[in-house]
Each structure stands twice: as structure tokens, then as C-alpha cells.
């Protein structure tokens, strides 16, 4: 054995064992807790008389947040669901929705710079991650431009969020298009829950200044309305040497939500928002006439947008209801490399009813229209510069009770037809087994499809330029151009999932989900025919055409558990493991294909964990600690982003019932660290810094 | 350029460990910390007589029992000297189920009786009417139909007190609190002591 090999073995040894140790131990611990719970050594239920002997003041001190977050829908119980509640969001100290998603297992969240995030579920993360459906009160947040989400403008006040459901795995059949690896369903509070005034404001080292004001009131017996306005100003980050970068930003937002119950069976909702912001970005551009070396440009981009949504739901009986939803969404982005304007209109109808005594059926139809206009620049242009897209879809979802209270089968499918990509069918089947009232086993097989995005079919992106020798002491610049191809087709996923959920003890809940995903026709960039320089274009063009020449296997496991050892102390832990292996289906081994292959396999961490502790110190003080770790990422030029472990802490004091003062420290274990590098369009990534902020929240009637 | 290049990591110091040596130690430290903490809690949790945490409805039920000490019903509420203290329950939900635990307890020196009712306006006298939040859509109808004389209305439905109810339970920061609409209570000829009002969030009609 060569010395090099044995050295490698010695280094690999303990580290690999370490990685298995954590998941193995979790599993062992909970099998043990499960066994204990079932041997009847469990405690007797709390006698109500114990409570009735307590004084009112003592009763008002008891923390009643439960350990289990019971899913309401059967469909959700047969899937890997994690619910992030308003209290989770508040006590974690996060300031954005994207950061709140770090609370869930199986979700990869990386902050690229002060105003950009890469968020995905079960891999394939990137700023332009495209395998995730994100909904805000039923409104789809992903843009048809790249099938992903601009997280920086999803700036809803966190105090207005009721819950965030994170559903890992294909959810297209029930939830909608683009739900390949998962669905993030964000719901805001009903207007009746936010009556009165709420003002919060604060500032700190990275959150330079922020404020939210909200007021809710009744418009009559059955109607409530709330209005809000908020402003955020965030600091820039730093580069690897600690120098300030140009990514500071600010955003102003306002909106309303109206809920009305005109009759007992009807619920009418109307809501809307508008935002306007400025983002600092740094671009590396290859501009004429010289083209190379590149110019690094600090710019300010403008973003604005608004939406209006209306929804009517009528309950026909205990098991049947109708709902009709319509929304309009508009956004604009002005960046140095491109300008984009997009208007979307979406209509959706759903009907739920019982069929016989064993079946619960939901079916629906939907239509979405999207119109865009792009301002072409040298770096980014589109052919055509403006396009209309129509998407029609229908779905059917049937929950069949095979054995009452024990076994259920769910069959569903979504059928959609989108302009420029044709007809797609996304069926799924799930089985739900409840052996005891406190245990659930579920299994699912699903097919999901990611239809081509606008960019993938029509973009011309001049990504980089190099000087190439043509002999005879001549050099010409050659521009690598990512070119969208009309032949780019949908990516496909076949997913096999298995999960188990239990409450082995009244104070403990446990959830584990595993999956095996097979992807086909994943995006690659195939080398096109070289275009030599001409009079009108004095540089060579090497097109890289979007193509579907990669397939992949992915598997992993996600574990989450909640433990309340005492009424005043709550612990939550999650762990995720993910391994993706990619294979090229072409002999075209250009650097671009190698990069796409490598990115898909390594853009997401192998292991992630999160442990949170929430303590109530008396009635007025709460203390929360959040330790989380993310494994390393390997990147484009083989540079590695190291794994990191970091800590957030929050201390809050309520001197009066309607006044809260909170101090939050974020990313405490590092002065600054890198979380990601942007792929494709080159904005300079910055490092996430340690930060502190203080916040005061005051509620009044 | 082949994928085998990924495996020759000789130039990188730590092999499979997340990059730098410092971070590797942190990973190990974090793993050991987490697992030891977990082990401690498993054992501590078992050794302590850990009872299940009380549910919101159980705490609300205990509060109802406790509140009666601070409430005075009009004299004619109790027809006979030994008449029971009647708690009527409307709706089917967690609170409706939990209130059943008050059956047989002594309230105001009388034995408490918990009765499920299906509609209001019934002739039987109730001292307390508990409306489960399952009836929230019917709240306004129920409150209108009810002969409120001498009945303290209590509910966990949202915004009960501002809809004209007497005592509404709310959840604030994971704890149970309650709103009282003093005007609504006064109209039912029920007196609430100032000690109870101090602990409550005071709410008026339509607020």
C-alpha cells in the first residue's frame, strides 16, 4: 500500500464514521424512546384536578404549544411535511422568509449575498434553482423566466405569516406546476386574527434599519381588513478578505388583506401587495470592444411589483366545498444586464366532494397567462424579446379509505399543457397506513415534470470571453454564449418515497422520510457550431445550446424530532442526508457540460443538521438558541465552499403584555463565512457576516 | 477531464472532512455536543415524573373553574337551594370535551353538572354556556338567540368577546389568556370582580 493511500485512508476514516454517527444515533435514540413509550411505562394522563387547583395567574403561565403539528389533510399525512409555525419564525430571530426555511429538514438555503438566496429541496440548489413550487396564499411565486423564485422580493411581514408548510417530494398532482422536488406553501393570517395595531422597528449591524406597521379592523359583522406597510434597509456583506462589497439594499412594501364571511358557508378573501426596492449588485461583464479582460461593475438594480388576489370558498357540506381563485401579478426588474417586465393572470377552480362513503375526491382546472417584455443588452438578450405564454391544467385527486382508520390509498394526477412545451402528465400514488393512532407509515410513487423556462428556450447570454490564437500571431476574442434552444424539453423525475411518523411519548414527536429519485433529461449545455467573426460581429461566438443530456439518481433521508422535556423548554432537531450522482448522456464533454454535471451533483450539501432550544424563563422572558451545520459544497472551478456550523441566539423580554423587546445575534460562530457561489449569471458572491439586531414590537387596539 | 479527478484529493489537507481542519473539529464537537445533550434529556426526561404537557383546552377548563370564584350570578339563577350549578356546552371540539371534567366539582357551593346542548334558547337554566370554537360560524346567531339573563358565555372561538360574548380565550405566545367584554357581561346581570378584570384583556363590542 502506497504511503499516499494509507494517509488518505487515515484521514477519511474518522471523518466518515463521524457522518454516520449522527444519523445512526438519532435512529437508535428514537427507537429506544418508542419502545419505552409503548411498555406502558408512560405517565398517567394529567388529571384536570391538578390544574383546577392552580391559581389563575399560574394557569396563565403554562406553555401549551404542542409537540406534534398535526397535518390537517390526509394528503399531507402521506407525504414528507414539515410545518414552520409563526412561533418558530418569531423565536428563531430570522428576518426573511428564505432564512426561515432553514428551519425545515431537506431544504437547502444558502445566502449568496445580502440580497440573494439559493433555495431548493433535495438538491439542485442554485440562485436559479428551478425544482421548487412556492405559493403565497395560493399565488405562485416562481417566475416562468427561469422557473425559480426571486427571494429578495418575497418580503411579506413575518408577523403576518400564519405558517409555512414545507412538503418535500413531488407535489405536482395536488399543488401545481413546477413542484418537482417539493412545495413550499406559505399562508398568511386571516384578517380576523390581526385586529388592532402592531408596530415593530429595529436596527443592527446587518439589518441597518427596519420597521413594520400594521392595522386591522372590522368593516362590519362578518368582514375584517388589515393594512400594512414595511421598510427594510440591509447592509452590504464582505468579501473573503473582509472588505465591504456593494450588495446593500432597501425595499419598501405595503398591502392589505380582507376576509369576509357573507354567509356561514362562504369565505371571500381579497388581498394585494406592492413593493419597490433597490438592490446593490456587482457584475462581471465582458463588454465590447475589447471583451476581455472583464469589467467588474458595481450597479444598483431596481425592482418593483404588485399583485391582487381574490378567492371565494363555499362549503357545501362537511365533506364538500368549491373554491374559485383569480390573481394578477406584475413585476419589473431593471438590471444592468437586462430589464424584465412580467404580467401574469391566473384562474383556478377546485371542487371537493365525497364519492360514496369511502372516497374523498378533489378535482380542479386552472389557466395561467404570462406576458413578458425584456430589454436586450449586449450581455443578455432574448429571441423574441416579448412573449406570451398560456398554461392550462387539470387535476384529479382521490383519497380512498381501504380500511377505516387504518389504511388509505391516494391516487391523483395532474395534466397540463403549456405553450412551447406540450402536454405533460404527472400521476402519483400514495399509501397511508396507521397501525396505531400515534404512528403513521406512508409510501409514495410519483412522476413530476419541470417544463422549460423562458430563458432555457430563448436566451442569448454572453457568459464569458477568452482570447484564442488563430495562428499567424493573431488573437481573436471568442465569446461563450449560452443559447436557449426551442428543442429544450421538460426535465423528468420519478420519485419513490417512504416515511414514518410517530409520537412515542406525549412529549416527543418523531418524523423520518426517505426517498430515491431518478431524474431524466436534466439540463446540460451542448457545444454548438462555432461562428467565426464577421464584419457585423467582430468576435467569434461559441454557442452552448441548452439541451437535456444528463440523468441522475438521488437518495437521502430527513429526520425531525420535537421534544418538550419540561413545559417551559422545547427542543427541536432536524437532520438531512442527500447524495446525488449525475451521468452525462452525451459524448460532448465540454467544460460547460462538466460544470452542469458537477453542479447538479455538488451544489447541495451532503449533510445538514439543526438543533433549536426554546426556553421560557418566567412569563416575561424567552431565550432561544439555534445551532445549525451545513456540509461543504464543491463548485464550478473545483473551489470548495467549506462546511460550517453556526449559532443564532435570541433573547426577548416582555415588560408588558403588549410590548416586546428582542435582541438577536446571528451567525455568531464566524466573523464571516461563504455560503454559496452564483452559477450562470455572474454576480459576485459575498460572505455572510456575524450580526446583531434589536427589535421592539408594540401591539395596541 | 474525467470524473476520476474528483477522487485525487492529495492536494487538499483533510480528505472527506468538510474542508478545513478547524471546521472538522467543529463538526465533531457539534455532533458530540448534540448527541450528549440528547442522551441527558432522554434519561432526565424518564427519571422525572414527566406528565404530558397540558393542552390549551385543559388549561381553559381549569380557568373556567377558577373564574367562578370571581363571578356573581343574580339571585334568581338558582331556583332551589340545592339546585346544581349547570354548565351547558354547545359544539363538539376539544374545549367541549375538556369541560366535561368539571362534572361533579363543587362550584359556588353547589355540585356542577355539565350538559351538552344542541341549540340555544332551551328552557333549562345554565349558569355558564361554553361555546366550542367549532360553532364559530354560528356565533352571532347563537348570541342573538340566547336568553342571556344570568348566563356567562365563554368560548375559545376567535374574537368571541368583541362579537358580544362574555369571556373569550385567546392564545398569546404559547400561553392561554382571556378577553372579557364587561358591557356584554353587565347586560346579562352578572357581576365580575375587579380582581378578574385585572387579569383579563378588556374588550368592547366590535373591537
What's the complex ipTM? 0.77
Q: How far apart are CA A564 and CA B54, in angstroms?
A: 12
Which residues, including other chains, have CB under 8 Å from residue A257's CB and lie 6 or more apart? A160, A188, A190, A191, A225, A226, A269, A270, A271
* Cis peptide bond N-terminal to A289, omega within 30: yes
More confident residue, B26 or A474: A474
A218 chain-B contacts, CB cut-off 8 A: 162, 206
Helix (H, G, I), strand (E, B) or coil at A390: strand
Most A CBs within 10 A among B48, B65, B174, B195, hence the mutation to make, goes to B174
Kindly state the average pLDDT of the residues A259-286: 92
Nearest-Cα distance to chain A for B150, in Å, is: 23
Q: Which of A16-30, A50-64, A78-92, A319-333 has the lowest mean pLDDT?
A: A16-30
- In degrees, to the nearest 5, what angle opens at C-alpha A692 toward C-alphas A687 and A696? 140
Which residues, including other chains, have CB under 8 Å from residue A215's CB and lie 6 or more apart? A196, A197, A198, A226, A227, A228
Flag if B59 and A64 touch (Cβ within 8 Å).
yes
Kindly state the average pLDDT of the residues A415-433: 91
Identify the pLDDT of residue B122. Answer: 58
Identify the pLDDT of residue A9. Answer: 39
Q: How far apart are CA A150 and CA A145, in angstroms?
A: 11
Residue in A122, A154, A161 with CA at minimum distance from that of residue A140: A154
Residue in A308, A262, A8 with CA at minimum distance from that of residue A138: A308
Flag if A48 and B98 touch (Cβ within 8 Å).
yes
Flag if A46 and B51 touch (Cβ within 8 Å).
yes
Identify the pLDDT of residue B5. Answer: 35
| B81–chain A Cβ distance below 8 A for any pair | no
Confidence band, pLDDT 50/70/90 cuts, at residue B41: low
Flag if B30 and A87 touch (Cβ within 8 Å).
no
Query: Superfamily for A3-700?
Result: TonB-dependent receptor, beta-barrel domain (2.40.170.20)
Identify the pLDDT of residue A67. Answer: 63
Residue A266 scores a pLDDT above 50:
yes
* pTM for this entry: 0.84
Residue in A656, A507, A54, A44 with CA at minimum distance from that of residue B60: A54
A619 chain-B contacts, CB cut-off 8 A: 175
Q: Which of A307-311, B6-10, B119-123, B128-132 has the lowest mean pLDDT?
A: B6-10
Kindly state the average pLDDT of the residues A545-554: 94
Q: How far apart are CA A260 and CA A382, in angstroms?
A: 44
Nearest-Cα distance to chain A for B26, in Å, is: 7
| B115–chain A Cβ distance below 8 A for any pair | no
Q: How far apart are CA A199 and CA A188, in angstroms?
A: 17
Residue A66 DSSP class: -
Q: How far apart are CA A60 and CA A71, in angstroms?
A: 27
Identify the pLDDT of residue A601. Answer: 83
| B9–chain A Cβ distance below 8 A for any pair | yes
Identify the pLDDT of residue A507. Answer: 86
pLDDT tens digits, A457-506: 999 999 889 888 877 888 888 999 999 999 999 999 999 999 999 888 88
Confidence band, pLDDT 50/70/90 cuts, at residue B16: very low
Identify the pLDDT of residue B141. Answer: 78
Domains of chain A, residue spans = 3-700
Confidence band, pLDDT 50/70/90 cuts, at residue B13: very low
pLDDT tens digits, A336-392: 999 999 999 999 999 999 999 899 999 999 999 999 999 999 999 999 999 999 999
Kindly state the average pLDDT of the residues A141-165: 94
Confidence band, pLDDT 50/70/90 cuts, at residue A638: low
Contact A140, A347 (CB under 8 A): no
B172 chain-A contacts, CB cut-off 8 A: 657
Confidence band, pLDDT 50/70/90 cuts, at residue A18: very low
Residue B137 scores a pLDDT above 70:
yes
Confidence band, pLDDT 50/70/90 cuts, at residue B46: low
More confident residue, A173 or A416: A416
| B68–chain A Cβ distance below 8 A for any pair | no
pLDDT tens digits, A399-422: 999 998 889 999 999 999 998 888
Residue B2 scores a pLDDT above 50:
no
Flag if B1 and A61 touch (Cβ within 8 Å).
no
More confident residue, B36 or A441: A441
Residue A29 scores a pLDDT above 80:
no
| B8–chain A Cβ distance below 8 A for any pair | no
* Cis peptide bond N-terminal to A384, omega within 30: yes
Kindly state the average pLDDT of the residues A655-666: 93
Kindly state the average pLDDT of the residues A539-543: 92
Tell me the residues of chain B between 124 and 163 that have a Cβ less than 8 Å away from chain A. Answer: 137-138, 140, 158-159, 162
Confidence band, pLDDT 50/70/90 cuts, at residue A103: very high
More confident residue, A62 or A65: A62
Mean pLDDT of chain A: 88
Amino acid at each position: 500500500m502506497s504511503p499516499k493511500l494509507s494517509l488518505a485512508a487515515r484521514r477519511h476514516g474518522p471523518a466518515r464514521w463521524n457522518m454516520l454517527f449522527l444519523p445512526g444515533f438519532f435512529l437508535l435514540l428514537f427507537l429506544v424512546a418508542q419502545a419505552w413509550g409503548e411498555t406502558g411505562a408512560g405517565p398517567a394522563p394529567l388529571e384536570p384536578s391538578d390544574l383546577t387547583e392552580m391559581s389563575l395567574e399560574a394557569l396563565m403561565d403554562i406553555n401549551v404549544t404542542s409537540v406534534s403539528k398535526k397535518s390537517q389533510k390526509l394528503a399531507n399525512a402521506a407525504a414528507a411535511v414539515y410545518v414552520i409555525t409563526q412561533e418558530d419564525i418569531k423565536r428563531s430571530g430570522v428576518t426573511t422568509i428564505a432564512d426561515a426555511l432553514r428551519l425545515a429538514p431537506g431544504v437547502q438555503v444558502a445566502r449568496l449575498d445580502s440580497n440573494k438566496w439559493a433555495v431548493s429541496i433535495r438538491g439542485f440548489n442554485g440562485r436559479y434553482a428551478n425544482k421548487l413550487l412556492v405559493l403565497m396564499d395560493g399565488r405562485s411565486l416562481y417566475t416562468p423566466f427561469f422557473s425559480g423564485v426571486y427571494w429578495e422580493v418575497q418580503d411579506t411581514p413575518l408577523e403576518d405569516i400564519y405558517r409555512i408548510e414545507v412538503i418535500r417530494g413531488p407535489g405536482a398532482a395536488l399543488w401545481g406546476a413546477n413542484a418537482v422536488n417539493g412545495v413550499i406553501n406559505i399562508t398568511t393570517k386571516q384578517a380576523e386574527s390581526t385586529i388592532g395595531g402592531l408596530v415593530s422597528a429595529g436596527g443592527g449591524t446587518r439589518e441597518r434599519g427596519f420597521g413594520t406597521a400594521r392595522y386591522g379592523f372590522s368593516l362590519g359583522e362578518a368582514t375584517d381588513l388589515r393594512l400594512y406597510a414595511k421598510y427594510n434597509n440591509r447592509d452590504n456583506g464582505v468579501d473573503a478578505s473582509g472588505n465591504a462589497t456593494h450588495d446593500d439594499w432597501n425595499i419598501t412594501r405595503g398591502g392589505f388583506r380582507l376576509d369576509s364571511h357573507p354567509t356561514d358557508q362562504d369565505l371571500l378573501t381579497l388581498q394585494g401587495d406592492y413593493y419597490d426596492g433597490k438592490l446593490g449588485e456587482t457584475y462581471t461583464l465582458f463588454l465590447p470592444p475589447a471583451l476581455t479582460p472583464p469589467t467588474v461593475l458595481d450597479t444598483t438594480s431596481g425592482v418593483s411589483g404588485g399583485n391582487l388576489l381574490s378567492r371565494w370558498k363555499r362549503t357545501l357540506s362537511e365533506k364538500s366545498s368549491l373554491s374559485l381563485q383569480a390573481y394578477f401579478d406584475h413585476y419589473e426588474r431593471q438590471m444592468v444586464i437586462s430589464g424584465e417586465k412580467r404580467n401574469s393572470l391566473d384562474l383556478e377552480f377546485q371542487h371537493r366532494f365525497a364519492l360514496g362513503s369511502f372516497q374523498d375526491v378533489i378535482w380542479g382546472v386552472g389557466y395561467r397567462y404570462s406576458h413578458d417584455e425584456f430589454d436586450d443588452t449586449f450581455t443578455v438578450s432574448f429571441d423574441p424579446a416579448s412573449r406570451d405564454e398560456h398554461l392550462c391544467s387539470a387535476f384529479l385527486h382521490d383519497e380512498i379509505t381501504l380500511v377505516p382508520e387504518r389504511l388509505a390509498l391516494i391516487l391523483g394526477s395532474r395534466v397540463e399543457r403549456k405553450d412551447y412545451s406540450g402536454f405533460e402528465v404527472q400521476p402519483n400514488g400514495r399509501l397511508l397506513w396507521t397501525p396505531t393512532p400515534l404512528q403513521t407509515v406512508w409510501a409514495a410513487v410519483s412522476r413530476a415534470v419541470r417544463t422549460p423556462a423562458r430563458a432555457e428556450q430563448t436566451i442569448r447570454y454572453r457568459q464569458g470571453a477568452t482570447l484564442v490564437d488563430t495562428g499567424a500571431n493573431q488573437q481573436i476574442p471568442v465569446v461563450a454564449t449560452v443559447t436557449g434552444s426551442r428543442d429544450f424539453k421538460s426535465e423528468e423525475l420519478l420519485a419513490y418515497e417512504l416515511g414514518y411518523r410517530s409520537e412515542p411519548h406525549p412529549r416527543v414527536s418523531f418524523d423520518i422520510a426517505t426517498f430515491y429519485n431518478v431524474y431524466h433529461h436534466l439540463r446540460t449545455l451542448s457545444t454548438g457550431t462555432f461562428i467565426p467573426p464577421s464584419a457585423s460581429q467582430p468576435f467569434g461566438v461559441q454557442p452552448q445550446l441548452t439541451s437535456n443530456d444528463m440523468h441522475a439518481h438521488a437518495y437521502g433521508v430527513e429526520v425531525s424530532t420535537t421534544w418538550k422535556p419540561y413545559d417551559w423548554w422545547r427542543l427541536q432537531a432536524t437532520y438531512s442526508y442527500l447524495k446525488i450522482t449525475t451521468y452525462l448522456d452525451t459524448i460532448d464533454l465540454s467544460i460547460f457540460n462538466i460544470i452542469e454535471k458537477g453542479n447538479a451533483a455538488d451544489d447541495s450539501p451532503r449533510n445538514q443538521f439543526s438543533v433549536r432550544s426554546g426556553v421560557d424563563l418566567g412569563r416575561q422572558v424567552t431565550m432561544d438558541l439555534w445551532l445549525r451545520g451545513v456540509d461543504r459544497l464543491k463548485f464550478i472551478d473545483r473551489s470548495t465552499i467549506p462546511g460550517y456550523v453556526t449559532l443564532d441566539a435570541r433573547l426577548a423580554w416582555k415588560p408588558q403584555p403588549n410590548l416586546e423587546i428582542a435582541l438577536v445575534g446571528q451567525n455568531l460562530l464566524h466573523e464571516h463565512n461563504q455560503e454559496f457561489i452564483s452559477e450562470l449569471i455572474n454576480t459576485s458572491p459575498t460572505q455572510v457576516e456575524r450580526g446583531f439586531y434589536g427589535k421592539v414590537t408594540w401591539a395596541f387596539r | 477531464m474525467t470524473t476520476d479527478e474528483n477522487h485525487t484529493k492529495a492536494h487538499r489537507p483533510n480528505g472527506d472532512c468538510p474542508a478545513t481542519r478547524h471546521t472538522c473539529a467543529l463538526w465533531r464537537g457539534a455532533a458530540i455536543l448534540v448527541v450528549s445533550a440528547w442522551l441527558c434529556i432522554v434519561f432526565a426526561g424518564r427519571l422525572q415524573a414527566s406528565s404530558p404537557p397540558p393542552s390549551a383546552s385543559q388549561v381553559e377548563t381549569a380557568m373556567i373553574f377558577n373564574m367562578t370564584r370571581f363571578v356573581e350570578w343574580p339571585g334568581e339563577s338558582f331556583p332551589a337551594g340545592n339546585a346544581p350549578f349547570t354548565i351547558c356546552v354547545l359544539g363538539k371540539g376539544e374545549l367541549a370535551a375538556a369541560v366535561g371534567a368539571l362534572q361533579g366539582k363543587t362550584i359556588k357551593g353547589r355540585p356542577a353538572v355539565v350538559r351538552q346542548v344542541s341549540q340555544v334558547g332551551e328552557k333549562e337554566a345554565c349558569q355558564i354556556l361554553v361555546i366550542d370554537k367549532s360553532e364559530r360560524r354560528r356565533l352571532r346567531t347563537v348570541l342573538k338567540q340566547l336568553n342571556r339573563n344570568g348566563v356567562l358565555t365563554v368560548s375559545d372561538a376567535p374574537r368571541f368577546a368583541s362579537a358580544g360574548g362574555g369571556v373569550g380565550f385567546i392564545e398569546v405566545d404559547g400561553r392561554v389568556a382571556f378577553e372579557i367584554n364587561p358591557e356584554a357581561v353587565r347586560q346579562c346581570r352578572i357581576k365580575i370582580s375587579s380582581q378578574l378584570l385585572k387579569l383579563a384583556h378588556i374588550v368592547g363590542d366590535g373591537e
